[in-house]
């Protein structure tokens, strides 16, 4: 255990110290405001305050962890051994910056509470983030900082026995459209034919016909392939199913269709299943509740995992609604337009609610990349994408973090815009579990 002396113990301080020490470095942590208790402690210890007590391991504290609410803070980036950091501490500090305040700023998504311009889908954009502006979005800097902190603590306490955490890989699959053409309503099917015909999309017109008449398998029905690969590579896999009512943005097969319900039940027998809340659920708790109950009725199990459709979430409202509905894990923490680490960590963490100044029970599992980001937003080829996947995995592996990827069942189809991508998923599994 490491004992931390500080002049004031706050919820923010407890939260971020536990993330860095307990979850990243595997070191239990406790706190004291009593000098005598701190001096009497014989094990690992450090001071986090404005001035050291003596010659101990000391980090000069920024005010952020002792404040409440959200203020417009000045962020001045500098480099420490080529690693970007901010909140300078001065010469007396054992580290040149306040690692805990900087980590809290990033992991709490502090900047997303500040005024910002949202994109077409009402999302906070990568381009507005500190990580993107200063080019460290593709690095889990909180984890990198934590390991550099450990190196410095080890110099002070070389006899302490340190434990290392294990690297993990999780493959996640979003099911926005279980089928391209099958099991749609008569109105949607007929409308599809009309649209293809008058849009001169003869290829999709023909494909729609041969799939509906059972001449060929639906191209998006790649679930057997995914489950076979899951078993072959022993890859932890989670499917997030969209079971919303039909809208412009929610175009999956109706959850009332028996074939779709059977698909969900079958997948749930072999892999973990979570909810993919609809486009308009971002601030609508009643809609979220309706969809959660719908999926629970199909699987006959409580839904405890979730990822927002279109990655549409607003802090803190969306997360507060998930907590109210007893969702335990959210997998939405990432950007659509850029790969990387939205919260600057590759370690699952608990959502800190800046409105109420508390650590919540909602575990946030950040993902590093998405197939549509690589293909649609970044315009990478399958080969280039594998290179980017390998780069991100290596960043996570270097800090023994959790590497989470997001693909869709349709990206394994080798169909239309996914031409040439059918083998990318398997190659990614090999990279991920290596």
Residues 362 and 328: beta-carbon distance below 8 Å? yes
* Tokens 């500190």, residue located: 130
**Residue 334: what pLDDT?**
98
Question: Tens-digit pLDDT profile for the chain (434 aa)?
Answer: 999 999 999 999 999 999 999 999 999 999 999 999 999 999 999 999 999 998 899 999 999 999 999 999 999 999 999 999 999 998 889 999 999 999 999 999 999 999 999 999 999 999 999 999 999 999 999 999 999 999 999 999 999 999 999 999 999 999 999 999 999 988 888 888 898 888 888 888 988 899 899 999 999 999 999 999 999 999 999 999 999 999 999 999 999 999 999 999 999 999 999 999 999 999 999 999 999 999 999 999 999 999 999 999 999 999 999 999 999 999 999 999 999 999 999 999 999 999 999 999 999 999 999 999 999 999 999 999 999 999 999 999 999 999 999 999 999 999 999 999 989 999 999 999 98
Q: Identify the pLDDT of residue 349.
A: 98
Would you state the pLDDT for residue 24? 98
Q: What is the distance in angstroms between the CA of the first residue and the CA of the last residue of the chain? A: 32
Q: What is the DSSP string of 292-335?
A: HHHHHHHHTS---EE--GGG---TTHHHHHHHHTT--EE---S-
pLDDT, position 56:
93
Q: Which two tokens stand for residue 403?
A: 């590497």
Domain-by-domain residue ranges, the chain?
2-156, 168-180+218-433, 183-217
Which tokens belong to 178?
A: 């279980």
Contact partners, residue 73, CB within 8 Å, separation at least 6: 64, 105, 110
Angle of helix 285-299 relative to helix 258-270, nearest 10 degrees, comes to 70
Phi, psi of 247 (to 5 degrees): -140, 180
Q: How many CB atoms lie within 10 A of CB 16?
A: 27
Structure tokens at 187: 């109105």
Class of CATH domain 168-180+218-433: alpha beta
Q: Provide the token pair at 419.
A: 């031409």
Q: What is the pLDDT of residue 108?
A: 98
Provide the pLDDT for residue 189: 83
| E strand spans, 328-395 | 329-330, 349-353, 358-364, 369-370
**Could you tell me the pTM of the whole model?**
0.96
Q: What is the rounded distance in angstroms from the CA atom of residue 161 to the CA atom of residue 150?
A: 12
């Amino acid at each position: 255990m490491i004992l931390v002396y500080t002049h004031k113990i706050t919820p923010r301080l407890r939260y971020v110290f536990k993330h860095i020490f307990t979850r990243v470095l595997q070191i239990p942590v406790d706190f004291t405001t009593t000098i005598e208790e701190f001096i009497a402690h014989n094990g690992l210890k450090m001071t986090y305050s404005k001035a050291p007590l003596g010659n101990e391991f000391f980090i000069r504290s920024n005010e952020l962890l002792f404040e409440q609410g959200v203020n417009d803070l000045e962020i001045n980036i500098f480099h420490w051994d080529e690693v970007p950091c901010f909140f300078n501490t001065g010469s007396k500090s054992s580290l040149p910056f306040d690692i805990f305040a900087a980590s809290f700023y990033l992991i709490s998504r502090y900047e997303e509470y500040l005024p910002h311009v949202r994109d077409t889908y009402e999302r906070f954009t990568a381009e507005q983030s500190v990580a993107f502006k200063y080019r460290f979005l593709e690095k889990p800097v909180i984890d990198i900082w934590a390991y550099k902190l450990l190196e410095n603590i080890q110099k002070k306490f070389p006899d302490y026995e340190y434990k290392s955490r294990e690297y993990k890989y999780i493959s996640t699959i979003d099911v926005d459209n279980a089928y391209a053409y099958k099991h749609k309503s008569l109105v949607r099917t007929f409308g599809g034919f009309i649209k293809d015909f008058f849009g001169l999309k003869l290829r999709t017109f023909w494909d729609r016909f041969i799939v509906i008449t059972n001449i060929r398998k639906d191209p998006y029905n790649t679930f057997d392939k995914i489950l076979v690969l899951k078993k072959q590579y022993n890859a932890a896999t989670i499917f997030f199913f969209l079971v919303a009512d039909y809208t412009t943005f929610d175009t999956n097969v109706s959850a009332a269709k028996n074939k779709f319900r059977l698909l969900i039940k079958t997948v749930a027998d072999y892999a973990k299943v979570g909810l993919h809340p609809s486009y308009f659920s971002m601030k609508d708790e009643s809609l979220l509740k309706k969809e959660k109950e719908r999926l629970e009725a199909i699987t006959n199990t409580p839904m405890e995992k979730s990822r927002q459709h279109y990655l549409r979430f607003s802090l803190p409202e969306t997360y507060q609604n998930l907590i109210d509905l007893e969702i335990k894990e959210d997998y939405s923490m990432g950007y659509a337009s850029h790969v990387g680490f939205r919260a600057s960590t590759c370690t699952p963490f608990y959502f800190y609610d800046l409105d109420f100044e508390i650590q919540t029970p909602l575990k946030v599992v950040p993902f590093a990349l998405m197939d549509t980001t690589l293909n649609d937003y970044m315009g990478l080829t399958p080969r280039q994408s594998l290179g980017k996947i390998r780069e991100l995995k290596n960043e996570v592996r270097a800090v023994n973090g959790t590497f989470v990827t997001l693909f869709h069942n349709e990206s394994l189809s080798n169909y239309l815009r996914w031409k040439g991508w059918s083998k990318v998923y398997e190659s990614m599994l090999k990279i991920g579990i290596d």
